[in-house]
């Protein structure tokens, strides 16, 4: 079965939905107005019971990442793979780190929200490398923890790109990864490589891409079923870890994770291939900067607005998300679009200049002597 290479606009829309889910979860569930009462005190219980599950946007992001990284890295050299990943992650990340730092500097919050105060210029520089976690430096923004998982996944997949991905190799590695994620305790040093909490989501995304590329087959269905079952176990642990002050049933999380599997599988099987709404591409592009910008800046906007105006919290949350969407679009338009292609070319070729297209010399007239005295053909030899 030939691989389908058309842009999957449905994936772009799914990315934005995940980013919005996480944003509303953080701004609705993790913000404190007065340092004592959480935002849940200002929202109806029915709303709280929905927003609490927004953290699952991270799990869905990892599934999409497994799909997209497998798709984008399949036919690339290691250097091209590195260039594409760096260009996708770094320009927006650098901009968002600096923007968040500026907001924390000029609009500081001294109570109620656990912001890391007193970050030095060196700490901020380390954050710009995406290596704050292994270097034991505080994050400029708490959501950066997911990027450390992404980087480790990229490193693992880069090894596969280096040896050459094949259907059998990817299935074997995916199955081995799932087994290790069960056997390796979360506290063990090897867990830094295996990432047992989130391995099933990466494996699921990879497997679903293989179904798209090679077609459904029993080994792929078996691997996907194993990843799904392990995902339900892992998400149960994540739900039990939450402590919002009210009961959080596990079954809605199981339902949402299962729905994510079904949606991504439907995309892989071509259900959405005819979607041609170009705005979905923009939605996918702004999802990453929206995710990076929303927590600290969102908290700050809500807190300052509430302290000065007393506007109801639900309205402030919606307004903050709307402003952050605009900010994310500006980061994409003004930073990512000009910087990412140049960074990709520099890593892939050593030059930031676009490669010049080949221009063939004009064809001589028929029968006209060439420089060596022979007649030129009307058909250029390079065509």
Q: What is the pLDDT of residues 296-335, one digit of tens each?
A: 899 889 888 888 888 998 899 999 999 999 999 999 999 9
In total, how many domains does the chain have? 1
Q: How far apart are CA 299 and CA 26, in angstroms?
A: 9
Average of per-residue pLDDT across 99-127? 76
Mean pLDDT, all residues of the chain: 86
Residue 362 counted as domain residue? no
With CA atoms as reference, report the closest residue to 291 among 57, 72, 77.
57
64: three-class secondary structure by DSSP? helix
- pLDDT, residue 168, reads 94
DSSP assigned state of 356: P
**pTM of the full predicted structure?**
0.86
Residue 208: CB partners within 8 Å, gap ≥ 6? 63, 66, 67, 224, 261, 264, 265, 268
Residue 373 counted as domain residue? no
Answer yes or no: are the C-beta atoms of 209 and 167 closer than 8 Å.
no
Q: How far apart are CA 170 and CA 168, in angstroms?
A: 6
- Token readout for 320 is 């903050």
- pLDDT, residue 204, reads 98
Residue 194 counted as domain residue? yes
Q: Which residues, in sequence order, are bridge partners of residue 375?
A: 369
Residue 85 counted as domain residue? yes
Residue 282 counted as domain residue? yes
Predicted confidence (pLDDT) per residue in 263-300, tens digit: 999 999 999 999 989 899 999 999 999 999 999 899 88
Q: How far apart are CA 318 and CA 297, in angstroms?
A: 14
The pLDDT confidence band at residue 377, using thresholds 50, 70 and 90, is very low
Q: Is the pLDDT of residue 106 over 60?
A: yes
DSSP assigned state of 369: B
Residue 309 counted as domain residue? yes
If you count them, how many residues does the chain have? 383
- pLDDT, residue 358, reads 52
Backbone dihedral angles phi then psi of residue 232, each to the nearest 5 degrees: -60, -35
Look up the domain containing 165 and give its range. Answer: 9-349
Residue 314 counted as domain residue? yes
Residue 360 counted as domain residue? no
């Amino acid at each position: 079965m030939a691989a389908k290479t058309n842009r999957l606009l449905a994936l772009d829309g799914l990315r934005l939905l995940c980013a919005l889910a996480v944003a509303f979860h953080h701004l609705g569930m993790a913000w404190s107005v007065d340092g004592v009462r959480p935002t849940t005190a200002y929202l109806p219980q029915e709303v709280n019971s929905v927003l609490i599950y927004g953290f699952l946007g991270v799990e869905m992001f990892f599934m999409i990442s497994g799909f997209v990284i497998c798709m984008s890295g399949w036919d690339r050299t290691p250097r091209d793979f590195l260039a594409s990943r760096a260009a996708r992650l770094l320009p927006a990340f650098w901009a968002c780190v600096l923007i968040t730092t500026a907001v924390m500097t000029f609009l500081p919050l001294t109570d109620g929200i656990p912001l890391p105060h007193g970050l030095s210029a060196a700490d901020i520089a380390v954050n710009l490398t995406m290596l704050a976690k292994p270097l034991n430096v505080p994050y400029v923004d708490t959501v950066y923890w997911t990027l450390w998982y992404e980087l480790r996944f990229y490193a693992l997949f880069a090894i596969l790109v280096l040896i050459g991905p094949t259907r059998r190799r990817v299935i074997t590695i995916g199955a081995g990864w799932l087994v290790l994620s069960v056997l390796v305790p979360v506290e063990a040093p090897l867990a830094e490589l295996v990432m047992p909490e989130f391995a099933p989501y990466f494996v699921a995304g990879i497997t679903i891409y293989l179904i798209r590329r090679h077609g459904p087959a029993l080994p792929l269905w078996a691997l996907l079923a194993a990843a799904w079952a392990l995902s339900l176990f892992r998400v149960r642990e994540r739900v039990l870890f939450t402590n919002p002050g009210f009961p959080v049933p596990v079954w809605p999380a199981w339902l949402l994770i299962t729905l994510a599997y079904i949606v991504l599988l439907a995309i892989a099987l071509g259900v959405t291939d005819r979607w041609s709404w170009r705005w979905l591409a923009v939605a996918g592009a702004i999802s990453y900067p929206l995710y990076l910008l929303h927590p600290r800046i969102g908290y700050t906007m809500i807190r300052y607005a509430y302290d000065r105006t007393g506007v109801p919290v639900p309205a402030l949350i919606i307004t903050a998300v709307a402003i952050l969407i605009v900010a994310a679009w500006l980061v994409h338009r003004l930073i990512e679009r000009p910087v990412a292609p140049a960074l990709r070319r520099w890593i892939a070729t050593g030059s930031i200049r676009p490669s010049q297209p080949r221009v063939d010399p004009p064809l001589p007239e028929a029968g006209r002597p060439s420089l060596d005295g022979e007649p030129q053909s009307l058909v250029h030899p390079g065509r």
